Amino acid sequence: MSDAGGGGSEEYKREESVALLVIVSLAALSLLSLIAAFAYYCYITRKVSRRLHSLQPPKRSGSPPAPPPRAPPPPPPQQQQQGKESPSSNSASDGAGAAAAGMAVVVAGERGVQVFSYRQLHAATGGFGRAHMVGQGSFGAVYRGVLPDGRKVAVKLMDRPGKQGEQEFEMEVELLSRLRSPHLLGLIGHCSEGGQRLLVYEFMANGGLQEHLYPNTGSCGGISKLDWDTRMRIALEAAKGLEYLHERVNPPVIHRDFKSSNILLDKDFHARVSDFGLAKLGSDRAGGHVSTRVLGTQGYVAPEYALTGHLTTKSDVYSYGVVLLELLTGRVPVDMKRPPGEGVLVNWALPMLTDREKVVQILDPALEGQYSLKDAVQVAAIAAMCVQPEADYRPLMADVVQSLVPLVKNRSAQKACNPNVQASKPLD
């Protein structure tokens, strides 16, 4: 019994010695690894330091110190700007402030888009005073001004707080820095300093289409002075703006807030599409959609987008159709003060748009005598296709442009041949 006990004790000691040896060996290996890693680190650090030192040019002895920077010249007196701009010209009146300040641009961005400081734009707009304010849009107040080179511009001071406001600002800068079309409002520059977000645009002297369709009240009931030819030219140029976004860009850009107040007019009433804060990149698959939060303006939002959140270029086509109805009828998209059945423009007008006899009944009374019945019926048919409840039945914007071009060209040719000729009466 004692021999067996002694043998077990010796075996235990041997196992203990082996375990201790293994532990010591592992500790030694770990220490060696650390020493090797540290040595390699020192080697690499020394090598990089020598490399950087060799790249530095040798110092020249006796070279004079660089002269101190000159102070900028005093800004010229602010220039007075004439021209009307409305709340609907939010986008158009963005960059005005920087101009009046008479101060040089700090940084040139991609494709000529400039970066201004807040101080420049603040000085340019008289401290964003009320005298320079030309409108209040959904994303902030708009101020006017003049750049040092004499360009009239407009400055939008965005006041949308939080992440949503930041995303809208970044989207507009990103898109307008890259997109180039004579039918889109041009971005001159921007400012992102601290908590301030400002956009600087071309100045559009005649503001937004909405204020010319409804001049007396801004949104309903006014008597428009826009004649038929001007309305059709605006319709064509706005269509070309959307066509560019949908057909010439890959993936396509969906405006998502196309409406009459976002169609801006220059001094000659040429139209440009503006306000891309809610724009979304569409699907690059034919017939595809993107799913997103439902945003937009009541009366312009396509029904399938409102119900499902599925957004396609055909959503913009619907909104365009609503604007075309505004141009035809002189009515706002939603006016619940009207008689029953007439409160929603699309619901009221759609059944009559394809009826030759009823088309005249829905046209703006201010257009009387300015159009031919044939032209009115054709434009009404285009509007009817655009506001179809089923997205698949709506045309592409390229098709809309092709349909409007002959109407505008023919009218222009007739007026060029005989400026005194009057359009036929509606029922001729």
Strands 187-193 and 310-311 come out as: unpaired
* Residue at 346: amino acid letter: V
- Tell how strand 114-115 and strand 187-193 pair up: parallel
Is-contact 158 140, C-beta < 8 A?
A: yes
Q: Is the separation of the CB atoms in 263 and 208 below 8 Å?
A: yes
Instruction: List the beta bridge partners of residue 84.
Output: 206
Parallel, antiparallel or unpaired: strands 114-115 and 253-254: unpaired
Residue type at 30? S
Q: Are 138 and 111 in contact (CB under 8 A)?
A: no
CA dist., res. 286 & res. 289, Å (int): 9
Structure tokens at 132: 């320079």
Residues 167 and 305: beta-carbon distance below 8 Å: no
3-class secondary structure for 240-275? HHHHHHHHCCCCCEECCCCCHHHEEECCCCCEEECC
How many alpha carbons lie under 13 Å from residue 276 in its C-beta half-sphere?
A: 26
Catalytic residue among 3, 94, 149, 257: 257
Determine if residue 152 is labeled as part of a ligand binding site. Answer: no
Q: How far is residue 297 CA from its own chain's centroid? A: 15
Q: Which two tokens stand for residue 39?
A: 């040595």
Q: Which residues contact 403 (CB under 8 A, 6 or more apart)?
A: 378, 382, 395
Give CA 128 to chain center in angstroms.
Answer: 23
Measured between alpha carbons, how far is 32 from 90 in angstroms, rounded to an integer? 69
Helix, strand, or coil here: 296?
Answer: coil
Q: How is residue 424 written in tokens?
A: 């036929």
Terminal Cα distance for the chain, rounded: 132
Based on the residue annotation, tell me whether 229 is a catalytic residue of this protein: no
- Residue 280, amino acid: K
Enzyme catalytic residues? 257
Binding site listing = 163
Binding site listing for ATP = 163
